[in-house]
Amino acid sequence: MKFIPLFIALALGLAGCAGDPSRLSVTAAPSEMSVRVAVRSILVGEIALPEYANAQEVVRQSEDGLIEAVPGVIWADIPEDAMANALVRNLSQITNASVARAPWPLANLPDAELTVRVEQMLVRFDGQLSLSGQFAVRRDDGPWGERLRTFEIAVPTTGQNLPDLADAHAVAWRQLAEQIARQL
């Protein structure tokens, strides 16, 4: 019986020595695109991801089509926040507008508001990152000011390493920002 507390202490000590998971951080993929838009300011509002894509674990599709966690890898940031930040950065670079996340930080209200609802954000078994869903742009300048569009983006991953997965997400998020910029 004397050995049980010692065994538990040893097991807990060894568990504490296990390495922390690697964290996947997405760095912006710069765009070559430049669009002059009719709005001066854009609010990046709600970004909604499916539950599996917004979890702490990075996921992929297995051979049998199931969604599984990539072992030992978690997101460095909440995926919805990372995607929103990437859209702000990319739209700021691509357009001539001031772009910020909600809540709006300036005194004057924004000229346009963006909402993105993602249906799928998943590295498929074939090695493609699939990003699909719908975005809405709301402007208060008449009946032509509102836009509702779907998007289907597929970006090949060059491998299963962390930099490969991060690069694929950065490229997909940049392509989404480019599609949105064309609608402003």
% of the chain surpassing 70 pLDDT: 88
Q: In this structure, is the dihedral angle defined by the CA atoms of residues 85, 91, 93 and 96, taken in order, positive or negative? A: negative
User: Does an H or E element contain 114, and which?
Assistant: strand 112-123
Collapsed DSSP state (helix, strand, coil) of residue 79 = helix
| Residue 174 confidence class, pLDDT cut points 50, 70, 90 | very high
Evaluate whether 97 touches 91 at the Cβ level (below 8 Å). Answer: yes
Closest CA to 154 of 182, 183, 122, 115: 122
Once rounded to an integer, what is the mean pLDDT over residues 31-39?
A: 91
User: What does the pLDDT look like over 152-172, one tens digit per residue?
Assistant: 999 999 876 778 889 999 999
Q: Residue 113: CB partners within 8 Å, gap ≥ 6?
A: 42, 43, 45, 137, 138, 139
| Residue 9 confidence class, pLDDT cut points 50, 70, 90 | very low
